[in-house]
Copies of this chain bind each other. A is one copy, B any other.
Amino acid sequence: MTFDQWTRQVLDRVESALDHYLPAADVLPAPLHDAMRYAVMGGGKRVRPLLCHAAGELTNATPEALDAAACALEMIHVYSLVHDDMPCMDDDDMRRGKPTVHVKYDEPTALLVGDALQSQAFVTLTSDVLGAQRQASLVRELALASGSIGMAGGQAIDLASVGHSLTREQLETMHRLKTGALLRAAVRMGALAGETPSAQDLDALDRYAAAVGLAFQVVDDILDVTADSATLGKTAGKDAKDGKPTYVSIIGLDASRALAQQLRADAHAALEPFGARAQRLAELADLVVNRVS
Contacts and interface: CB of A to CB of B under 8 A. Distances in A.
Interface in A65-105: 79-80, 83, 86-89
Given A119-B150, A122-B122, 18 more contacts: A28-B173, A29-B153, A29-B160, A32-B152, A32-B153, A32-B156, A36-B148, A80-B115, A83-B115, A89-B108, A116-B148, A119-B143, A119-B147, A119-B148, A122-B143, A123-B140, A123-B144, A136-B139
A123 B136 contact: no
Contacts of A120: 143, 147-148
A256 interface: no
Residues of A in contact with B, size category: 35 or more
A111 interface: yes
Contacts of A87: 88
B116 A153 contact: yes
A30 to B, nearest CB: 10
A123 B111 contact: no
Nearest to A155: B112
Nearest to A143: B122
Contact of A132 (B132, B148, B160): B132
Which 7 A-B pairs rank lowest in CB-CB distance, beginning with the nearest?
A119-B147, A122-B143, A88-B107, A116-B148, A126-B140, A135-B136, A116-B152
A246 interface: no
14 contacts: A29-B160, A33-B148, A36-B148, A87-B88, A88-B88, A111-B111, A112-B148, A114-B115, A115-B115, A116-B148, A119-B143, A119-B144, A120-B143, A122-B139
Contacts of A153: 28-29, 32, 116
A136 B138 CA distance: 10
A237 interface: no
A217 interface: no
A156 B29 contact: yes
Interface in A119-175: 119-123, 125-126, 132-133, 135-137, 139-140, 142-144, 146-150, 152-153, 155-157, 159-160, 173
Interface in A177-226: 177
Contacts of A118: 115, 118-119
A91 to B, nearest CB: 11
Contacts of A149: 23, 27-28
A109 interface: yes
Contacts of A147: 116, 119-120, 123
A31 interface: yes
A196 to B, nearest CB: 13
Nearest to A124: B143
A114 B111 CA distance: 10
A144 B155 CA distance: 26
